[in-house]
Amino acid sequence: MKTTGPVLIHVVTEKGRGYPYAKKAADKYHSKVLLYWLKNVIRTLVTHMLVSGVTKFDPATGKQFKSSAPTQSYTSYFAETLIAEAEADKDVVAIHAAMGVGTGLNLFLRHFPTRCFDVGIAEQHAVTFAAGLACEGLKPFCAICLSFMQRAYDQVVHDVDLQKLPVSLAKSHEILITVEEGSIGGFGSHVAQFMALDGILDGNFKWRPLVLPDRYIDHGSPADQPVEAGHTPSHIGATVFNVLGKTREALEIMSEV
């Protein structure tokens, strides 16, 4: 086609295309379809290849193999806590960017269908939307997977931070535990910076950061590495109990590791 002007090509993607099980449940197969397609193109790939956010599954039947755990996932705890906050405060709302399952907000949606917003794959809009709601007096919790947060950096800075919009989570609790899969100087340090500037650390507020240890960690199974790094639910629970002065409970929960 010959043209003298600009040409706009609009490409519409379809989650799960070519794999019927994923088409029926696109939210549960968010990144599995690519793996299934690659396996058929490059025969050397194995079915249990690890991809971020993906559990093992049988390509022939679509059945997912979820490992059992003695405790709930971080996502489940987050969802239950946010639901409790929303039950106590009608102004609490939740926002996610096409990641209801990944963020746990699908559970929030069941309890509060009119207070949970899926903006689609638009993290930028999710942050700005949250900022707008905050300006009107609501208390939005915008849940975005970390690997996708880079899309919304500008919105976080210009629409939230520079506007000095209220962040009520740390201010309404006596204890804050930050957990990050990184070393000192990452997310937890930024949280501490904001709290220090706001004077939150001047009172009785207690903060404990959990970061990766400053040493090499050998490769291991996904279950072994959090234990080595001290990032298991038991480690986090023990940290909370220690802050509360409940040493015995901390020792008991660590005995489960």
DSSP one-letter code for 70? S
Contact 127, 142 (CB under 8 A): yes
Collapsing DSSP states into helix, strand and coil, what is residue 199? coil
Radius of gyration for the chain, computed over Cα atoms and rounded to the nearest angstrom = 21
Is beta strand 175-179 parallel, antiparallel or unpaired with respect to 64-65?
A: unpaired
Rounded to a whole number of angstroms, the distance between the first and last alpha carbons of the chain is 65
Using CA atoms in the order 189, 193, 196, 198, what is the torsion angle rounded to 10 degrees?
Answer: -140
User: Of these residues, 85, 123, 139, 180, which one is catalytic?
Assistant: 123
User: Of these residues, 23, 56, 115, 151, which one is catalytic?
Assistant: 151
Is 256 a catalytic site residue? no
- Nearest Cα neighbor of 79 from 112, 56, 54, 51 is 112
Contact 46, 38 (CB under 8 A): no
Is 151 a catalytic site residue? yes
User: Of these residues, 15, 23, 208, 246, which one is catalytic?
Assistant: 15
Using CA atoms in the order 188, 53, 127, 26, what is the torsion angle rounded to 10 degrees?
Answer: -170
Q: Round to whole Å and give the CA distance between 81 and 42.
A: 43
Catalytic residues: 15, 123, 151
